[in-house]
Amino acid sequence: MPNNPSTSASPPKLPFLPFGRRDSRHMLIAQGDTLWLALASEGAPSMIPTAPRPAGLFELTVLSSGNPVPYTYTADISVLELKASGGVARITHDTQVGALRIEAEGISLRFDGKTSSGVSSLNTPDGPVVSIGGGRYLFSARRGTITFDDTWVLNAFGSVVPVVDIAPAGGIIELVVYELPGDTIIPAPTGSFDSRAAENAAEFSAFDSSIVSAPPQYSKLRDEAVYSLWLNSKKLADGNHCITPNRITSSMAEAHRQALASFAFRDFDSAFELLMSLPESSPPLRGFAVTRMIDDGLLDGVELDMLRKLYHELEATAKWWRDNRTMPGAALSYYAYRFESGHPNPSTFTVGAPVIAPDLNAYLVLLYEALSQLAANLGDNAASDKFALGAKERLDAMLSDLWDGERFFAVNVYSGERESAESQTTYAPLIQNEIPLILGRRLPGDVFDKLARSFGEKLNNPPEGAGRSSDQTLQYAAVLLGLVYAEPLEVLGKYTSLVAGAFKPEWMQYASDPITGAVMLAAVSKAFGMGTRIN
Amino acid sequence: MFGTYEKFTLVRAPYARRGSVIYLYEDFEKHGLLRLGMQKSGDMISGTDFLFDIALTKNGASVPYTYFADAGSLRLTSGDAYVEFAITDRQHVRIRGNGAGARLTLISTNPPIPERTPGFARALRGIYSMPKGGAEADFGKYGRVFINALAGAFHYDAPYNENGYYNSLTYNFLPDVQTGRFDAALHEYDDGEIYPYGHYEPFDQLVSDNRTDFESFKRGYRSVAKGYEETANYAMWTVWSHRAAPRSFIKSPIIFFHHQWAVVAASWQQSYNAMPMQNNLKEAWRLICTMFEYQDERTGRLPGMLAYTGVAAGLQPPFQGFALEFLLRNVGEDIIPQEDCARMFPKFAKWVNYWTTYRSADLGAAAPRPQPAVQPSSDVTEIQSPHEAGWDDASNFKDGFPASDPNTMAFLVLLMECTARLARGAGLRKEATDWMDRAQKLTKIIIDDYWDGEKFVTKVKGKPVDAMSLACYQPIILGKRLPRKIINKVAERLMAPGEWLTEIGLASESMRSPLVTFGISFVCGRVVAPQNMIISVGLQAAGKQKEAEEIARRYCDQVKKEGIILGFAPYDHFPLTGEPAPDQPRPFATDGWPWTSWCANSFMTMASSVLA
């Protein structure tokens, strides 16, 4: 079956990303020549635990005279259009009623569940209800005729394979595919298909405008990053959103990645929502995110209550690291676990755990600096001075205890063993010890210079560094992000290899990863002076 | 109680304690190997990354051991040397040794992941020695473990590979060179503070306290019929050891179904657990009410199951009325304080109305579209899956759904009556009368429309389902509300040879039914604890004490012989065809394998209240 993904501006990037929408669990996933209907993973508990996966997969088939026929599809941001011999179908989201709206003309449609494992189906006066893989669908035909077998198979503890066939009435199908919890009054869809599609496009447009700009040569990066952020944005119980790494298979999200993603938003409310969406996790990146908000002027004019909330959250983070990850009387903090660094296997841990790591303390310098600035904005000069002093003392300690004149290194808390240069070479793809570059102008000139050259070399000669995986690309991009906020591009320009190596083509394959894409986008936006603040 | 030389081992029964998520068990394949696991994640034992093999060591080498466990502790023995585990209800386990050390090695029962080779320690995300001593490890969704060495030596070994994954994790506890002893605490907790930390009672005191706690718990039950005392001890221990403390999504103590397999607290099973607790009526009443803490305010629905990770989907039968009516009948009516009546009356009423609205046959209950403005003309309900009746593969549901099921409606009748009692207790006379009227009307419907002269029938689209399920007789729970001729017929049919009555109790499907199976099945042939309890209690309520006792005795004798297991195959062949039945299952989540609180509470009810 020929496959014809759209190439229009800001498209869903089928087949690499699903056709989906913020605030909707419905997605259409392309696999080979086939489209599949699915629901985003929710990870609800059950008596028999299952592996993470999209809920309720249905293969979408076009039928003509009862037989499957080939189809092609195109998609823009709000409508997926499917063409087959003799007819066409269009699909859009209807978040007002938690549904997918489908219109078709001249063809029949089939949704084939392909498996009966754990499926419970029921024909109801409103259409077939199918509980499958943690999702609950209701297929409701407003025009057209549904055929569905809900036979219960006694010893299978479930229904037969759910196959929903919809034949047109008068050549037309109007189908609403709800995703509703049980015991819910079925909301009647309002408005036309086109009005819903227009609404989706408008909402995406508004979302798009909340994201930083990019120069023309990076428009593809921006398109993919923005759509991925939109698609992977998950609504939490309190109404706020967070960004999941991949809504198809996982509902899990991490706070430190929200901090990174917040760089891509150019208004305080959006960035703040992400930053506060989840309890702080490790590494502590909120300070990093807030210092950029300060740099970009996002805090200007923000209500004191919001600033106070931000301040208290950051203060709690600082306290946690002081109480739980700092030896009594010490100026520097440590990671107890490797994963606390945000990477599964950092070179810093070659000296064993717990480890006083340069990257962690760089993050904490920024956290203290952010706290100092927020305290000043709130009129608490004593607290502001205290945190400013804390930032300075930590940076001084980093330079005296973790810098050997050429490089940063990690130290085991108990044994005092230093991370060797050899281990850093062995772990060359990783850049834990270049992360302090995010401190930019706060570092002495020679330290910055040596770090930047080292980073540039790794950037340009990575045996398997950035570009190898989304996570490693994210690490490099995050350092670059710190750099472009710390220094103007013309200053960075003297590190030619650094700038030349940035944003290589192989990085771009990860633009559709929501966090990596967001960080790369924020970095190019800042580097090329696109401005971020909405006035 | 349990041990190498005891009547029952820990191969099927997990060793645990009230208020702890830790359990220990003996491996089925490697006889003599004990393991330590944790049920907090909801993982089944066949697919978990958090299990530790337990070795008893001498001079660092693993040596064979035997073991014995009672409520106080589990002791592994090798000659004169021993290692002992005592579980607390304060999120830690104490481990001590004398003349021996212990080694705990992390394993996984999930399929290997190539890049993590060998992958046995895949749950481990990190481990480090803490500043104040001891070692804390992070196990991701399993939480954290802190080992605190109190005497002797402790060290861990956790090498990792170039991909950043741990190859293995071993905890080594070594005896002190001079005393030959070690003592340690294994704490488990979620993100946050270690709880509690800093105070440990003497080990022997903990063992004694555990035994005292169990003895105290047992006093909540009435004594059982002569000859079942030892089995009752096992049953009560099973309930006690499955009783979870409030934590995470769990708001108050609740009793889990399994530790190792179906790791959930099932909604209706809480009321099963209440039924035999007739010497602790406060606790029995609390158990009946406990799921109402999670009641949906909008609909009145109770959750199907609870886990530490959240509320699972599903709907379970409205069993609370049956349990409460049984308690009231056995111990008297004035057990519920007036303030409790006032507090619980609206909740019970809402729960009944959930069924009669969202499962109303009149309103087209199959559709999820309650119409609040429209009142149903009757309280006839239709269920949407067999799980809503409690019997997952009962043959009376072979024609599919929605099904109008007299069993569920019989539970509703008793729930309505109890709602009336609560109204009366709260001083609401008119409401009490109204609820009794509804109960009587629904009873009449069940008798008039669902009794075909031989059995109660489930209906699909108004048509009776031709079935030979034991469930066809379950409305006997209505007792003397039913006409004498129905009661007699039910008793006669159930006691007839060759159909449901077997040597070990009532089979869930007639032995003359072609649908009978003893394989991966629940109630399509096996002899199952809750059905035997419900039917025997129902017959007793209907005045058929002799028949009730006969059924209960047969089932309880089987439990006495085989252990606290939910379902048993009554034969090694299928009586209808003479063909051999498949082998009994190996370790698996089937009801024919693990010890479970659901069997324990059903046994206790039969042994203490049905048998003379």
Judged by average pLDDT, the poorest of A1-15, A56-70, A373-387, B303-317 is A1-15
Span B530-539, average pLDDT = 98
Contact between residue B470 and residue B500 where contact means Cβ atoms under 8 Å apart? yes
Query: Residue A41 above 90 pLDDT?
Result: no
Same domain, A186 and A225: no
Same domain, A115 and A231: no
Same domain, A216 and A184: no
Judging contacts by C-beta atoms under 8 Å, the chain B residues touching residue A154 are 393, 395, 397-398, 515, 524
Q: Is residue A1 part of a domain?
A: no
Q: Could you tell me the CA-to-CA distances from B488 to B306, B442, B457, B482, B483 in Å, in that order?
A: 39, 21, 17, 10, 9
3-state secondary structure B532-581: HHHHHHHHHHCCCHHHHHHHHHHHHHHHHHHCCECEECCCCECCCCCCEC
Residue of A nearest to B383 (CA): A122
* Rounded percentage of chain B residues whose pLDDT exceeds 90: 85
The secondary structure of A505-526 as a DSSP string is GGGGGGTTSHHHHHHHHHHHHH
Query: Residue B349 above 70 pLDDT?
Result: yes
* Rounded percentage of chain B residues whose pLDDT exceeds 70: 97
Q: Quick check: B125 and A124 CB within 8 A?
A: no
Q: Could you tell me the CA-to-CA distances from A438 to A218, A331, A363, A448 in Å, in that order?
A: 23, 20, 8, 10
Higher pLDDT, A113 or B364: A113
- pLDDT for residue A531: 53
Highest mean pLDDT among A211-215, A483-487, B271-275: B271-275
Same domain, A516 and A429: yes
| Residues B54, B35: Cα–Cα separation, whole Å | 5
Judged by average pLDDT, the poorest of A219-223, A324-328, B432-436, B466-470 is A219-223
Choose the closest CB to B138 out of A45, A327, A337: A337
The tens digit of pLDDT for each residue in B477-489 reads: 999 999 999 999 9
Q: Is residue A223 part of a domain?
A: yes
Q: Work out the minimum CA distance from A442 to partner chain B, whole angstroms.
A: 31
If pLDDT is split at 50, 70 and 90, which confidence band does B522 have? very high
- pLDDT for residue A12: 54
Same domain, A108 and A149: yes
Q: Quick check: A339 and B125 CB within 8 A?
A: yes
Judging contacts by C-beta atoms under 8 Å, the chain B residues touching residue A343 are 164
- pLDDT for residue B364: 60
The tens digit of pLDDT for each residue in B104-154 reads: 999 999 988 777 767 789 899 999 998 888 999 999 999 999 999 999 999
B320-331 vs B529-541: helix axis angle to the nearest 10? 50
Which segments within A287-433 are labelled E, that is strand? 355-356, 411-412
End-of-domain residue from the set A202, A230, A248: A202
- pLDDT for residue A49: 56
Split into its structural domains, chain A has a count of 2
Domains located in chain B, CATH noted: 2-212 (2.70.98), 219-610 (1.50.10.10)
- pLDDT for residue B286: 97
Judging contacts by C-beta atoms under 8 Å, the chain B residues touching residue A45 are 42, 264, 305, 307, 309-312
Instruction: State the average pLDDT for chain B.
Output: 94
Q: What angle do CA B248, B323, B234 make, to 5 degrees?
A: 70
**pTM score, whole prediction:** 0.93
Residue of B nearest to A415 (CA): B129
Higher pLDDT, A524 or B482: B482
Q: Is residue A534 part of a domain?
A: no
- pLDDT for residue A468: 63
Same domain, A123 and A155: yes
B366–A contact, CB cutoff 8 A: yes
Q: Work out the minimum CA distance from B407 to partner chain A, whole angstroms.
A: 18
Q: Is residue A93 part of a domain?
A: yes
Choose the closest CB to A155 out of B131, B368, B524: B524
Question: Which positions in chain A have a beta carbon within 8 angstroms of at least one beta carbon in chain B?
Answer: 44-49, 120, 122-126, 129, 131, 134, 138, 150-152, 154-155, 157, 180, 182-186, 327, 336-340, 343-345, 353-354, 413-414
Closest by Cα among A237, A214, A235 to A224: A214
- pLDDT for residue A480: 83
Same domain, A257 and A382: yes
B307–A contact, CB cutoff 8 A: yes
Higher pLDDT, A428 or A138: A138
End-of-domain residue from the set A133, A168, A202: A202
If pLDDT is split at 50, 70 and 90, which confidence band does A152 have? very high
Q: How many CB pairs under 8 A join A and B?
A: 124
Amino acid of residue B168:
S
If pLDDT is split at 50, 70 and 90, which confidence band does B437 have? very high
CATH at residue A450: 1.50.10.10
Span A196-219, average pLDDT = 94
Q: Is residue A7 part of a domain?
A: no
Query: Residue A167 above 60 pLDDT?
Result: yes
If pLDDT is split at 50, 70 and 90, which confidence band does B529 have? very high
Same domain, A170 and A36: yes
If pLDDT is split at 50, 70 and 90, which confidence band does B367 have? very low
Query: Residue A14 above 60 pLDDT?
Result: no
3-state secondary structure B74-139: EEEEECCEEEEEEECCCCEEEEEEECCEEEEEEECCCCCCHHHCCCCCCCCCEEEECCCCCEEEEC
The tens digit of pLDDT for each residue in B64-96 reads: 999 999 999 999 999 999 999 999 999 999 999
Same domain, A371 and A496: yes
SS3 A88: strand
Total count of residues recorded for chain B: 612
- pLDDT for residue A484: 83
Amino acid of residue A416:
G
Residue of A nearest to B256 (CA): A47
End-of-domain residue from the set A169, A202, A235: A202
Query: Residue B369 above 70 pLDDT?
Result: no
Same domain, A286 and A422: yes
Q: Is residue A159 part of a domain?
A: yes
Region of residue B133 (left: phi > 0; alpha: psi -120 to 50; beta: else): left
Contact between residue A78 and residue A95 where contact means Cβ atoms under 8 Å apart? no
B294–A contact, CB cutoff 8 A: no
Choose the closest CB to A180 out of B44, B129, B368: B368
Same domain, A247 and A155: no
Q: How many other CB atoms sit within 10 Å of the CB of residue A315?
A: 16
A514-527 vs A219-231: helix axis angle to the nearest 10? 140
Residue A77 lies in domain: 26-202
Q: Is residue A359 part of a domain?
A: yes
Span A134-152, average pLDDT = 93
Same domain, A93 and A233: no
The tens digit of pLDDT for each residue in A172-202 reads: 999 999 998 888 888 999 899 999 999 999 9
Span A411-418, average pLDDT = 95
If pLDDT is split at 50, 70 and 90, which confidence band does A432 have? confident
- pLDDT for residue A499: 58
Higher pLDDT, A335 or A9: A335
Q: Work out the minimum CA distance from B457 to partner chain A, whole angstroms.
A: 17
If pLDDT is split at 50, 70 and 90, which confidence band does A498 have? low
Q: Is residue A268 part of a domain?
A: yes
B396–A contact, CB cutoff 8 A: no
